């Protein structure tokens, strides 16, 4: 027992590589029960947040669609998700007979386990005193913490992929295949968008990145990277409009089709925890982490940036991103699969690459030639303005005007299969009644001219 | 010389300043190493390709744990991100695309391929053995000095300062290989691309069903895939049953169900006193047997009544006005 305790005790020193240097959070005071407290706290926070998130999503989407949403169980319907969870737990646990049993059971476990790992490196706040021990509100941190988050996300996708494969059924397999392609393409864009934060902050440790945002939060100077991250985080968590692995309109339920009861609940749980994860990463890397927003941060010499207050700001920011998730879900339609891939490979990744090169050049200019950041930014703005002006001077290539048809053309009332009105220059043929009348008048008086109905102009 | 290589001789754990491994590392190693060996055996012996892939994933992640425990955090995490997260994912993607149950073909596409491969493998082994055998290591400097700035920076220094030429060469090689694969698999487009819009226009022009087909099974009792839907005039719509079922001959006989309704409407329910449920009550009557369609809403019609109806179900396929 004591061997295990020392083993666990030695791990952070091996992982952290010492508190001096890359990581600004100081974990030197931590003892065994403090870690245990933090770890249990994180799990409790995640699980309760998931319950609230389900209720929150349903209520907000309902509000957007002008209906009440769940409002029966508990105050404001808050206990609805609890009831749903209970129902899922007591449902019959079906294991498909043709399934690959081991992988079928393992897949939801992988998904949940990996989603629970991410919050270990997310800072909830600065140093506080827990029962006399001064410790940062963060389970652990090390020099490559953000890469660790990416690694957890990457392994978590195996849950989806293997779940899709092991069900031994067509729709789940299609969902799994889609998920692999999706994660390969969107993780690239996500990683590249994070690189510019690493460059500006000079570190990949989460506490250090939060510390680097005392002056300005990174989402403002690194706006393109932030936008790319926002898009790819929706793709990474399989949420609408990118929920192609489980698209219920096309694939029944995608990789979850053959899952029921607790196993399905685990996939469900993993999806919502992953939403919380990417929201926390967006908060930490782009939105100042636990730092109070500007007018509040100035009150009383930064009082609200100390003690337990930052937890409030952190949670509020995470829920801001959760709201964005729901907002997108309520307003955007699901993409077609090829469109989705096209956005990833032809827009997001090239844009992220170009942006990383730009940030690198600016940073290199600052360090190598000792240029002041302000002059550099003004210079860059000048270059952009000159480029814009020059682009106005380049004559626009006009599409060749189609020649106006001179004589009346044949009119096909069912062009391309649709009933269509006559286009400019086309002549509407006389109606059957007019034809009969014409025939009658022709027989009576052949000299009377025919008057076609021609449509002119646009 | 190379801080990474100094860690290699001590496979059982990292060299701390004193050159000793801690207890924690030893425990981690002796727990993980046997499991990794088992997984490696599983890779060789697994029947299904996906199981072998799972074994590889397990080894990769365990290896990452080892790296991190030895102080090479960057290497450990990047191992998971790049190899587990991207490369193995691509492997799985291909495995799923080609079909997971397919066994490998053992036919040689190039004559003598196997022997050339064996020779090349032997050559590589000899070269590796020579290099490793002749290599000399500096005395270990300890983790604290190797990771002095921070682990990622130390790795960056090794890669982009000491070995920058080799890195560039490997990068160029990879780009060339990727481009080569693209060129080899590229096909010129011979016909114009057919997109969603073109397909929709063609569907309307050809006069086939322009929207999705009607769902099968209109009866409350037989809301099943194999029962055709009924048109408003009571004729069953064969195209509402999935094509696969029709080809297999697993389609239910719609006339049978329609005839039942017929009899119910004609008062059969009252006569049968609630026993009108089982299939054996249906005897191919003149109505169902003679005509393709059965009138539901006109039970009073005589045997000749339904014969006036069109035998073929009118579908949306027959566009009017064309």
Q: Report the CATH number at residue B11.
A: 1.20.120
Highest mean pLDDT among A17-26, A257-266, A361-370, B284-293: A257-266
Q: Which two tokens stand for residue B131?
A: 């290099």
Domains of chain B: total:
3
| Residue of chain A whose Cα is closest to the Cα of B92 | A180
Q: Give the number of beta-carbon pairs within 8 Å between A and B.
A: 131
- Asked if residue B140 and residue B21 are part of one domain, the reply reads yes
Specify whether B281 is located in the same domain as B176. no
Task: Reply yes or no on whether the pLDDT at A320 is more than 90.
Answer: yes
d(CA A193, CA A67): 38
Q: Which residue has the higher pLDDT, B306 or A104?
A: A104
Query: What confidence tens digit (pLDDT) does each residue in A90-144 have?
Result: 988 888 888 888 889 999 999 999 999 999 999 988 888 878 888 888 888 888 8
Residues A32, A8: contact at Cβ < 8 Å?
yes
Q: Are residues B133 and B52 in the same domain?
A: yes
Q: How far is CA A258 from CA A23, A239, B98, in A?
A: 44, 20, 22
Residues of chain A with C-beta less than 8 angstroms from the C-beta of B71: 14, 17
As a whole number, mean pLDDT of residues A213-233 equals 87
Q: Are residues B177 and B155 in the same domain?
A: yes
pLDDT on residue B172:
95
Spatial CA neighbour of A351 closest among A244, A243, A223: A223
Q: State percent of chain A over pLDDT 70.
A: 90
Please indicate, yes or no, whether residues B140 and B97 belong to a single structural domain of this protein. Answer: yes
Residues of chain B contacting residue A170, judged by C-beta atoms under 8 Å apart: none
Confidence band of A76 (pLDDT split at 50, 70, 90): confident
**Together in a domain, B143 and B36:** yes
Contact between B89 and A157 using a beta-carbon 8 Å cutoff? yes
* Mutate which: B77, B99, B155, B321, vs A, most A CBs within 10 A: B77
Please report which confidence band the pLDDT of residue A408 belongs to, taking 50, 70 and 90 as the band edges: low
More confident: B20 or A446: B20
pLDDT at A321: 93
- pLDDT of amino acid A217: 86
Whether residue B252 is found in the same domain as residue B265 = yes
Instruction: State the nearest Cα–Cα gap between B298 and chain A, in angstroms.
Output: 36
Indicate whether B7 and B143 sit together in one domain.
yes
Q: At what angle do helices A349-368 and A373-393 cross, to 10 degrees?
A: 130
For B47-79, how does the pLDDT look when each residue is reduced to its tens digit (9 = 90+)?
Answer: 878 888 889 999 999 999 988 888 888 888 988
Burial group, residue B114, by CB count within 10 angstroms (0-12, 13-18, 19+)? exposed
For residue A443, is it within any domain?
no
Asked if residue A105 belongs to a domain, the reply is: yes
B200 within domain boundaries: no
Tell me, yes or no, whether B128 and B16 share the same domain. Answer: yes
pLDDT at residue A405 in the model? 60
A184:B71 CB<8 A: no
- Domain tally, chain A: 1
What is the pLDDT of chain A when averaged over all its residues? 82
Is there a single domain that holds both residue B125 and residue B239? Answer: no
Grouping H, G, I as helix, E, B as strand and the rest as coil, residue A340 is: helix
pLDDT, position B11: 38
The answer to the question of residue B320 being in a domain is no
**Which of the four pLDDT bands, split at 50, 70 and 90, describes residue A449?**
low
Q: Minimum mean pLDDT among A34-48, A269-283, A352-366: which range?
A: A352-366
Q: Which domain holds residue B129?
A: 3-102+117-148
Task: Tell me: pLDDT of B305 over 50.
Answer: no
- Answer yes or no: is pLDDT of A302 > 90: no
Which residues are within 8 A (CB) of B65 and not within 5 positions of it... i.e. 6 or more apart?
B28, B32, B76
Peptide bond into A241 cis (omega under 30): yes
Q: Is B81 on the interface with A (CB under 8 A)?
A: yes
Q: Within this chain, do residues B21 and B144 fall inside the same structural domain, yes or no?
A: yes
Report whether pLDDT(B10) > 70.
no
Across B233-259, average pLDDT: 79
CB spacing of A7 vs B27 below 8 angstroms: yes
Q: Which of A16-30, A176-190, A197-211 has the lowest mean pLDDT?
A: A16-30
**Which of B48, B54, B73 is facing A143, going by the closest CB pair?**
B73
C-alpha B57/C-alpha B90 separation (Å) is 12
Structure tokens at A351: 């844009």
Q: What average pLDDT does range A382-388 have in this prediction?
A: 87
- What is the pLDDT, as a whole number, of residue B119? 93
- Whether this model's ipTM surpasses 0.90 comes out as no
- The residue in chain A having the minimum alpha-carbon distance to the alpha carbon of residue B98 is A177
Task: Report if residue B242 sits inside a domain.
Answer: yes
Question: Chain B 144-163, CB below 8 Å of chain A: which residues?
Answer: 144, 147, 149-153
Does the CB of B89 have a partner CB in chain A at under 8 Å? yes
- Report the distance separating Cα A431 and Cα A453, nearest Å: 10
In a domain, A428, yes or no: no
Residue A9 has pLDDT above 70, yes or no: no
Which has the higher per-residue pLDDT, B142 or A76?
A: A76
Domain that holds residue A330: 90-391
Segment (H or E) for A135: strand A133-137
Is the Cβ pair A151, B73 closer than 8 Å? no
Residues from chain A contacting residue B153 (CB–CB below 8 Å): 22
Instruction: Summarize pLDDT for B103-152 with one digit per residue, the tens.
Output: 556 666 777 788 889 999 999 999 999 999 888 887 777 777 777 777 78
Within 8 A of B210 by CB-CB distance, chain A residues are 417
Closest CA of chain B from A157, distance in Å: 8
Residue B174's pLDDT is 93
Residue A237 domain flag: yes
- Of the listed ranges A253-267, A407-421, B48-62, B150-164, the least confidently predicted one is A407-421
Q: Would you say residue A406 lies in a domain?
A: no
User: Residue A301: pLDDT band by 50, 70, 90 thresholds?
Assistant: confident
Task: Please indicate, yes or no, if residue B15 is contained in any of the structural domains.
Answer: yes
What's the whole-number mean pLDDT along residues B146-168?
Answer: 84
Residues of chain B in contact with residue A11, where contact means CB-CB under 8 angstroms, are: 24, 69
Q: Do residues B167 and B77 share a domain?
A: no
Mutate to test the interface with B, among A151, A183, A337 (most CBs of B within 10 A): A151
Asked if B27 and A3 come within 8 Å (Cβ–Cβ), the reply is yes
Q: Do B204 and A8 make contact, defined as CB atoms within 8 angstroms?
A: no
């Amino acid at each position: 027992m004591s061997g295990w305790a020392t083993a666990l005790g030695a791990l952070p020193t091996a992982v952290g590589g010492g508190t001096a240097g890359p990581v600004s959070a100081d974990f030197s005071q931590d003892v065994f029960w403090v870690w245990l407290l933090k770890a249990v706290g994180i799990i409790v926070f995640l699980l309760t947040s998931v319950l609230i998130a389900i209720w929150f999503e349903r209520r907000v989407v309902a509000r957007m669609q002008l209906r009440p949403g769940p409002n029966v169980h508990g105050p404001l319907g808050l206990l609805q998700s609890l009831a749903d969870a209970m129902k899922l737990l007591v449902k019959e646990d079906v294991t498909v007979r043709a399934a690959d049993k081991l992988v079928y059971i393992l897949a939801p476990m992988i998904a949940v386990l990996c989603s629970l790992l991410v919050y270990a490196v997310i800072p909830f706040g600065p140093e506080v005193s827990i029962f006399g021990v001064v410790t940062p509100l963060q389970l652990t941190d090390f020099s490559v913490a953000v890469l660790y988050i990416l690694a957890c996300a990457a392994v978590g996708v195996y849950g989806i992929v293997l779940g899709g494969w092991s069900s031994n059924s067509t729709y789940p397999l299609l969902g799994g295949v889609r998920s692999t392609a999706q994660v390969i393409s969107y993780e690239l864009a996500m990683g590249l968008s994070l690189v510019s934060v690493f460059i500006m902050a000079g570190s990949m440790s989460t506490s250090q990145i939060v510390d680097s945002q005392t002056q300005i939060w990174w989402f403002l100077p690194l706006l393109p990277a932030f936008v790319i991250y926002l898009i790819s985080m929706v793709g990474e968590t399989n949420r609408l409009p990118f929920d192609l692995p489980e698209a219920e309109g096309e694939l029944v339920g995608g990789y979850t089709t053959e899952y029921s009861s607790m196993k399905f609940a685990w996939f469900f749980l993993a999806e919502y925890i992953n939403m919380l994860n990417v929201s926390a990463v967006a908060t930490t890397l782009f939105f100042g982490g636990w730092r109070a927003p500007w007018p509040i941060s100035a009150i009383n010499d930064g009082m609200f940036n100390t003690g337990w207050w930052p937890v409030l700001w952190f949670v509020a920011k995470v829920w801001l991103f959760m709201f964005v998730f729901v907002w997108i879900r309520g307003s955007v339609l699901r993409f077609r699969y090829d469109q989705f891939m096209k956005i990833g490979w032809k827009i997001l990744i090239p844009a992220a690459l170009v942006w990383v090169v730009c940030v690198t050049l600016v940073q290199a200019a600052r360090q190598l030639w000792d240029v002041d950041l302000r002059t550099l930014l003004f210079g860059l703005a000048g270059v952009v303005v000159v480029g814009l002006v020059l682009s106005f001077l380049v004559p626009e290539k006009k599409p060749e005007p189609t020649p106006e048809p001179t004589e009346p053309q044949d009119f096909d009332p069912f062009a391309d299969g649709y009933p269509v009105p006559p286009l400019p220059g086309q002549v509407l043929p006389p109606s059957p009644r007019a034809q009969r009348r014409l025939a009658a008048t022709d027989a009576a008086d052949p000299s009377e001219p025919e008057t076609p109905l021609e449509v002119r102009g646009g | 010389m190379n801080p990474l290589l100094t860690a290699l001789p001590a496979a059982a754990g990292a060299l701390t300043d004193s050159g000793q491994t801690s207890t924690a590392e030893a425990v981690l190693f002796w727990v993980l190493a046997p499991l990794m060996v088992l997984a490696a055996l599983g890779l060789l012996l697994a029947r299904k390709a996906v199981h072998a892939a799972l074994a590889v994933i397990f080894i990769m992640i365990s290896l990452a744990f080892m790296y991190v425990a030895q102080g090479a955090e960057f290497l450990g995490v990047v191992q998971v991100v790049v190899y587990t997260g991207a490369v193995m994912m691509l492997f799985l993607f291909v495995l799923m695309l080609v079909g997971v149950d397919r066994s490998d073909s053992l036919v040689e596409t190039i004559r003598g391929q196997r022997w050339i491969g064996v020779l090349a493998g032997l050559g590589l082994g000899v070269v590796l053995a020579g290099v490793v055998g002749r290599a000399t290591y500096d005395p270990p400097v300890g983790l604290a000095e190797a990771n002095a700035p921070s682990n990622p920076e130390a790795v960056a220094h090794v890669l982009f300062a000491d070995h920058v030429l080799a890195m560039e060469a490997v990068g160029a090689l990879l780009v060339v290989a990727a481009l080569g694969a693209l060129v080899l698999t590229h096909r010129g487009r011979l016909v114009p691309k057919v997109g969603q819009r073109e397909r929709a226009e063609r569907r309307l022009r050809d006069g086939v069903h322009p929207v999705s087909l009607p769902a099968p099974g209109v009866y409350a009792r037989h809301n099943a895939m194999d029962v055709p839907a009924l048109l408003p005039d009571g004729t069953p719509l064969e195209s509402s049953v999935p094509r696969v079922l029709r080809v297999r001959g697993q389609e239910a006989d719609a006339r049978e169900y329609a005839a039942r309704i017929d009899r119910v409407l004609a008062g059969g329910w009252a006569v049968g006193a609630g026993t009108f449920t089982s299939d054996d009550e249906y005897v191919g009557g003149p109505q169902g047997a003679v005509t393709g369609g059965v009138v539901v809403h006109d039970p009073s019609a005589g045997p000749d009544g339904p014969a006036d109806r069109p035998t073929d179900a009118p579908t949306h396929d027959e566009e009017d006005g064309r």
